[in-house]
């Protein structure tokens, strides 16, 4: 059995290598390599749990390796240990046969608690694990502060009218999403949204009314999607979403919700050239998924845009993905 001194030396070496890490993906990648090479574990899985809705659990990292290295019973065990964990828990483990299943609560990031899960045959001293957990919690706090600083810098990427990200930021994030797929096989979807007959509103009621409606539609879109989904004003009356870790089926659900919520809303505007007005709006939605529908940045943008125009040409108020066209009635059945 490896002695405690050797374990401490391994952990200290790992920590020293990560002094300047400023990204969650890199942190978890190094952590995975550390556990496998130094302690002989199976690949590390990272789960996150919503701090307010603690029953909401998702597999955050290494999703592609879950079913390769762990069976359903083992994954269920990890889920149970994570869900049972309290906020102040450092770690827990359970022995099953010759294997030990560890779950480490490594801290909070953007309203999510993160948990490191792995399987090992040799018990690790509690002092070693707690030392590592403290480092991980400190690192997550540091990364969170980096992200806050990045948010301040990203104000140049915010649309002045709607408060959503702008087209420049969308292009940057598309490139980053493709890099994520290349590294970690994380699919994503792009959703284009265009307000139907919006030019008639501007021409008939003035641009002040149009501007207010853009703000209101942007708010509905933002309120409809998840926190991790990215929202942009693409230009004019076009909006676009990036839905991480999704296929077109999940993106279709998002598009349907946006369409439904906008159609059900009654929009009130007080400052139009015709006085106070109320409006009913609809949108046309186009969807493309990476890598199913496209292999490059240009291809996926063009495909989602093309599908949005197909929805318009088919009568508006619809959601369209390559080969499939859905009305709002069909989507809500």
Q: What is the pLDDT of residues 174-191, one digit of tens each?
A: 999 999 999 999 999 999
pLDDT digits (tens, 9 = 90+) for 118-163: 999 988 888 889 989 999 999 999 888 887 777 666 678 899 899 9
CA distance 170 to 165: 7
Nearest in space to 229 (alpha carbons), one of 215, 238, 241, 239:
241
Q: Mean pLDDT throughout 191-196?
A: 96
CA distance 239 to 223: 14
What whole-number percentage of the chain has pLDDT above 70? 93
For the chain, the structural domain boundaries read 4-153, 158-331
Three-point CA angle 57, 221, 206, nearest 5°: 170
Architecture of domain 158-331 in this structure: 2-Layer Sandwich (3.30)
Nearest in space to 259 (alpha carbons), one of 278, 286, 288:
286
Query: In the prediction, which pLDDT does 270 show?
Result: 79
Query: In the prediction, which pLDDT does 310 show?
Result: 93
Query: In the prediction, which pLDDT does 61 show?
Result: 85
Query: In the prediction, which pLDDT does 273 show?
Result: 67
pLDDT above 80 (res 253): yes
Instruction: Identify whether the C-beta of residue 142 lies closer than 8 Å to the C-beta of residue 110.
Output: no
Instruction: Identify whether the C-beta of residue 187 lies closer than 8 Å to the C-beta of residue 291.
Output: yes
What is residue 278's DSSP assignment? E
Q: Mean pLDDT throughout 162-173?
A: 93
pLDDT above 80 (res 3): no
CA distance 312 to 320: 9
More confident residue, 229 or 16: 229
Query: In the prediction, which pLDDT does 31 show?
Result: 92
Q: Mean pLDDT throughout 273-297?
A: 89
Instruction: Identify whether the C-beta of residue 152 lies closer than 8 Å to the C-beta of residue 132.
Output: no
CATH 3.40.50.970 fits 4-153, yes or no: no
Q: Residue 286 in 3-state DSSP?
A: strand
Residue 267: C-alpha distances to residues 20, 169, 202, 210, 270 (Å)? 49, 28, 14, 11, 10
What whole-number percentage of the chain has pLDDT above 90? 57
What residue spans of 42-197 are helical by DSSP H?
Answer: 66-69, 72-84, 126-153, 167-184
pLDDT category at 110 given cuts 50, 70, 90 is confident
pLDDT above 70 (res 312): yes
pLDDT category at 67 given cuts 50, 70, 90 is confident
Contacts of 240 (CB under 8 A, 6+ apart): 170, 190, 191, 192, 193, 231, 232, 234, 304
Sign of CA dihedral 328, 306, 219, 148: positive
Instruction: State the CB neighbour count (10 A cutoff) for residue 115.
Output: 27
pLDDT category at 21 given cuts 50, 70, 90 is confident
pTM tops 0.75, yes or no:
no
Contacts of 249 (CB under 8 A, 6+ apart): none
pLDDT above 90 (res 233): yes
């Amino acid at each position: 059995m490896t002695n405690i001194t050797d374990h401490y030396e391994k952990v200290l070496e790992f920590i020293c290598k990560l002094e300047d890490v400023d990204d969650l993906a890199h942190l978890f990648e190094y952590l995975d390599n550390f556990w496998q090479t130094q302690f002989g574990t199976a690949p590390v899985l990272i789960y996150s749990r919503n701090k307010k809705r603690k029953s909401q659990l998702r597999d955050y990292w290494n999703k592609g390796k879950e079913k390769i290295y762990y069976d359903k019973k083992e994954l269920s065990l990890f889920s149970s240990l994570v869900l049972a964990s309290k906020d102040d828990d450092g770690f827990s483990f359970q022995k099953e046969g010759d294997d030990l299943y560890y779950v480490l609560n490594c801290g909070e990031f953007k309203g999510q608690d993160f948990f490191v899960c792995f399987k090992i045959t040799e018990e690790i001293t509690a002092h070693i694990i707690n030392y590592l957990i403290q480092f991980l919690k400190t690192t997550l706090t540091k990364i969170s502060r980096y992200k806050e600083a990045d948010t301040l810098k990203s104000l140049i990427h915010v649309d002045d009218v709607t408060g959503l990200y702008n087209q420049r930021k969308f292009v940057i994030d598309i490139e980053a999403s493709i890099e994520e797929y290349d590294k970690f096989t994380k699919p994503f979807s792009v959703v284009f949204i265009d307000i139907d007959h919006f030019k008639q509103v501007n021409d008939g009621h003035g641009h002040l009314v149009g501007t207010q409606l853009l703000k209101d539609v942007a708010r509905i879109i933002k309120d409809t999607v998840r926190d991790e989904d990215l929202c942009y004003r693409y230009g004019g009356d076009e909006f676009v979403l990036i839905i991480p870790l999704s296929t077109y089926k999940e993106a279709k659900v998002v598009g349907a919700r946006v369409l439904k919520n906008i159609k059900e809303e009654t929009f009130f505007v007080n400052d139009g050239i015709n006085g106070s007005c109320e409006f009913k709006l609809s949108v046309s939605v186009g969807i493309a998924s990476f890598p199913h529908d496209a292999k490059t940045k240009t291809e996926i943008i063009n495909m989602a845009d093309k599908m949005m125009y197909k929805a318009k040409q088919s009568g508006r108020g619809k959601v369209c993905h390559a080969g499939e066209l859905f009305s709002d009635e069909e989507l809500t059945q």
